[in-house]
C-alpha cells in the first residue's frame, strides 16, 4: 500500500462488494467505527466520495446490495481502519 512522505502517515484502500443495501443500521455502524480512528476515512460509490464518519453522507450515496464501494483512509492507523471498516461493510445485513 502506498505511503506518503511522512513515515507516520499511511494510505490504505480496499474495494468491498456490499451484501446488503447501505441503509441506516450498517451506515450507523460504519460511521461510529470510522469516527474512532485517527485517520481520515472516505467511502466512494460510483462518482461520489463521502466522509465515512458522516451517517447522512453515507446514506446519501445510495449504495445498494451488489454494489462495489471503495474505502480509503489516510493517517497513522489507515491500514487498521480500512481492514475494520471493510469487515463491517462485508458483513452488513
Catalytic residue numbers read 23
What are the counts of helices (DSSP H) followed by strands (DSSP E) for the chain?
Answer: 3, 4
Three-class DSSP category at 19:
coil
Dihedral class, residue 46 (left if φ above 0, else alpha if ψ from -120 to 50, else beta): left
Amino acid at each position: 500500500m502506498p505511503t506518503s512522505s511522512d513515515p507516520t502517515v499511511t494510505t490504505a484502500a480496499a474495494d468491498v462488494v456490499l451484501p446488503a443495501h447501505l441503509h441506516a443500521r450498517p451506515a450507523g455502524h460504519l460511521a461510529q467505527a470510522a469516527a474512532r480512528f485517527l485517520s481520515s476515512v472516505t467511502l466512494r460509490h460510483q462518482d461520489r466520495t463521502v466522509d465515512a464518519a458522516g451517517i447522512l453522507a453515507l446514506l446519501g450515496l445510495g449504495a445498494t446490495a451488489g454494489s462495489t464501494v471503495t474505502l480509503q483512509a489516510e493517517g497513522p492507523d489507515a491500514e487498521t481502519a480500512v481492514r475494520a471498516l471493510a469487515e463491517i461493510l462485508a458483513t452488513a445485513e
